[in-house]
Amino acid sequence: MVKIFCEGSDDKKLIMKLLEHLKSESKIIDVNNVHFQQIILSPTKNFHGKDSILSEDYFNEIILKREKLLKVKKVLFLLDCDNINKNQKCGGCENTKKCLDKIKNLIQQKYPEIKIEYFLFNDNLEKYLLNTLADDIKNCFNDFTNCIQIENNKVIYSIYKGLYPNQPFDFSHQNFDELKNKLIWLFKGE
């Protein structure tokens, strides 16, 4: 069994579409053996998003004590780097990597046989996806955002999804190569 830790439902939807794409290309065989651990907001425990998945307390209490990694052979973390100004501890790619290294060590202390990889979206998932759009569409959105003076990728991505709800992303775009390779690694030997 393999496990993917991700921040939210959009991340999971993207990965499921990408796994189906890889399956159609015969790059992976079985996508049924994956378990997602999304970060669920818990007001009683104060766990929220990326901060939770990179929290040693969260991992000890929610993942390790409940033996959520029993029978897992490989783990993939799929996280946004986020802006360092919003999160001094785990914001920015370098800080996110440092936080991930601590979590990897925690996991491997209890489960040394588990292989662990990660993929970081530079800034966030929405920016990553918007950068894979065809140049003409990307230019339209750039003109639009310049006109209305909005720089929030989540808003722009929501507008794109609203205008093109059935428009798939071009998984042959080079931005997807590293992520596809991580997913192929995840299922290799499963």
The residue-averaged pLDDT of 83-92 equals: 74
Of all residues in the chain, the percent with pLDDT exceeding 70 is 85
Which SS3 state, helix, strand or coil, does residue 121 take?
Answer: strand
Q: CA-based Rg of the chain, rounded to a whole angstrom?
A: 17
Distance from the first to the final alpha carbon of the chain: 7
Residues, the chain, total? 190
Q: How confident is the model at residue 38 (pLDDT cuts 50, 70, 90)?
A: low
| Greater pLDDT, 82 or 111 | 111
- Write out the two tokens for 107: 């996991």
Does the domain made of 2-125+173-187 have the CATH classification 3.40.630?
no
Contacts 24+ apart (CB under 8 A), 53-61: 53/5, 53/7, 53/77, 53/79, 53/103, 54/79, 54/90, 54/96, 54/99, 54/100, 54/102, 54/103, 56/102, 56/103, 56/106, 59/103, 59/106, 59/107, 60/106
Which pLDDT does position 36 carry in this prediction?
67
pTM: 0.83
- Write out the two tokens for 77: 């973390």
124-172: per-residue pLDDT in tens?
A: 888 888 888 888 888 888 888 889 888 788 888 888 888 887 777 888 8
Domains of the chain, residue spans = 2-125+173-187, 133-168
Which pLDDT does position 44 carry in this prediction?
42
Which pLDDT does position 101 carry in this prediction?
93
Q: How confident is the model at residue 53 (pLDDT cuts 50, 70, 90)?
A: confident
CA 87 – CA 122 distance, rounded (Å): 15
- Write out the two tokens for 85: 């100004």
Report which of 186, 188, 189 is spatially closest to residue 34, judged by C-alpha positions: 186
- DSSP letters for 12-57: HHHHHHHHHHHHHTTS-S--TTEEEEE---BTTTTB-HHHHHT-HH
| Greater pLDDT, 118 or 86 | 118
123 φψ region: left (φ > 0), alpha (ψ -120 to 50), beta (else): left
